[in-house]
Chains A and B, each alone.
Chain A
Amino acid sequence: MVSVFLKNDNIKVKAGVGKTMRQIATASGASMEFGCRVGDCATCIAKIEFGMQLLNQKTEKEIKVLKMLGGDVSGLRLMCQSHIRCEEGEIVVSYIF
């Protein structure tokens, strides 16, 4: 199981491979904001402070949306496009409001 620390809400969730960050946010009652939920609107943009390698690769749609925002987006993900791909480790997420 991977430990996902949702920093803004002080919630730590243990979740297995394949669990999406959206599932984790919803099940834990986190205040992470979601808009379109399909990678278009960038509402659920978050900073992966630690453990980026434990998540899936950025999707094409996600790369396109992040690029539009400009600046350094290397540490950013859209939570609706991210899921856990590793068995063990720790991820620290902070949301950008």
Chain B
Amino acid sequence: MLGNRESLSKNVHFIGVFDPKIRIFDIIMKTANGSSYNSYLVRGSEGVAIMDTVKKEFSSDFFVRLEALCKYEEIKYIVLHHLEPDHSGALIELMSKAPYAKLIISGRAVMMLKGLVKTDIAFEVASTGKTISLGDKTIEFLSTPFLHWPDTMSSYLHEEKILFSGDVFGSHYYDERLYDDEVGDFSYAFKYYYDHIMRPFKHYVLEALKLYAKFEINTIAPLHGPILRSNPQFYIDKYAKWSSEAKFRKHQFGKKMVSVFYMSSYDNTQKMAQKVMQGADKVEGVVASMYDLASLDEQNMIDLLEESDAIIVGSPTINGDAVKPAWDLLSCMAYLESSGKIGAAFGSYGWTGEAPEMLHDRMRWLKFRLPVKPLKIKLIPTEDELMDCVAFGQEVAEITMGKMVEMEI
């Protein structure tokens, strides 16, 4: 039982559900302390708004909480800040029960809604500045996309100074004591959530924080984990710091980082890597480095990838494929922002030499800029071919420093 904990204030109530047993969320996230799917009910003088729903299999608990606080006929609005199924799972049932409810979603959520509910339902689109009224309560919407889906948005309840932040400021941390000043130590879960969910979208985090800064916030009501009421600014400052941390090397030297990651079976790709690095290092303003993937831990890969402005990956071709550590390296980009980074691929080969092209393609899907074609060399590189490697590295570095790429297609 929540007791009176479910009330954030006289008119705002927690109607979310708890999932204490979940240990892996969204396939990739470890959730040692379980999680919660938060939903809130806002009551005004002229109706009720439901802020998000819950995962479908927990919907009976959600409806029990909701029914204890309002009649379905009173629901004027259902706001979905984020359409992922853990928040939209009870939507259809709720809409079928609430005859006068109007669904509010972001513009980018429109097509997702159709994909999720597989039926036509009426909705209204909200973006920054749009408000809805519940009589004596006003909710203002804020477009905060890509946190962590394109559709995400936030909203602010003016009279209570509550920010409904969507997944922003969330934690996978089950604790029925609900509030940050009453639950156990969830700091690891808050940081882990940021690292796995928000870190790839740092740029959008900072944009969202700019919007949030326009409001006085007494409470942050996220979609997972504790409700943050003790000192919301503390959490906002954490997000600001994590999203804007100066890169270590840039901080020290103000230079661009070009990193060459490679694996080599007979030293041929390694020889190429050395020349690629030499070429890159010739360019003013660049610090080039090279790393043997055979001995690089995943956390080091993530940090180096984040630091690097250009990422050049070298792999031999073995049985028609790039080697596993090269794929492992690129899979670490799931934790990072890749837009704007420059990528390139190279490698020595014996038979067919697909690896550089395959890595190049993979980087394209990861949204790298790929202005230079992959470079592959059959077996032992000649002196001329090693000079090609120098030129390859130099070209990547020059583009990293801002050289315009001109081409005809």
> Which chain A residues have a beta carbon within 8 Å of chain B's beta carbons?
1, 8-15, 19, 23-24, 26-31, 33, 35-36, 40-43, 68-71, 97
Q: How far is B403's CA from A55's CA once the two chains are assembled, in angstroms? A: 27
Verify B369–A12 contact, CB threshold 8 A: no
Verify B339–A97 contact, CB threshold 8 A: yes
* B204 partner residues in chain A, CB cutoff 8 A: 97
* A27 partner residues in chain B, CB cutoff 8 A: 407, 409
Verify B125–A70 contact, CB threshold 8 A: yes
Pick from A8, A19, A28, A43: contact of B407, CB under 8 Å: A28
Interface 1/0 per residue, B47-60 and A, CB below 8 Å: 00000000000000
Query: Taking CB as reference atom, which chain B residue is nearest A43?
Result: B150
* Shortest CB distance B174–A (Å): 33
User: Does B161 make an interface contact (CB < 8 A)?
Assistant: no
* Shortest CB distance A28–B (Å): 6
* B408 partner residues in chain A, CB cutoff 8 A: 1, 13-15
Pick from B127, B150, B369, B402: contact of A31, CB under 8 Å: B369
Query: Taking CB as reference atom, which chain A residue is nearest B405?
Result: A11
Closest 8 pairs (CB-CB, A-B): A29-B370, A14-B408, A69-B107, A27-B409, A11-B405, A29-B371, A31-B369, A12-B406
List, sorted by A's number, 13 A–B pairs whose CB atoms are closer than 8 Å. A1-B408, A9-B371, A9-B405, A11-B407, A12-B405, A13-B408, A15-B409, A27-B409, A29-B369, A33-B339, A33-B367, A68-B125, A69-B127
Q: How far is B403's CA from A28's CA once the two chains are assembled, in angstroms? A: 14
* A15 partner residues in chain B, CB cutoff 8 A: 408-409
Q: How far is B364's CA from A35's CA once the two chains are assembled, in angstroms? A: 13
Known: A30-B369, A68-B110, A97-B339. A23 touches B150 (CB 8 A): no
Query: Taking CB as reference atom, which chain A residue is nearest B371?
Result: A29
* Shortest CB distance B152–A (Å): 14
Verify B368–A31 contact, CB threshold 8 A: yes
User: Does B122 make an interface contact (CB < 8 A)?
Assistant: no
Q: How far is B127's CA from A75's CA once the two chains are assembled, in angstroms? A: 19
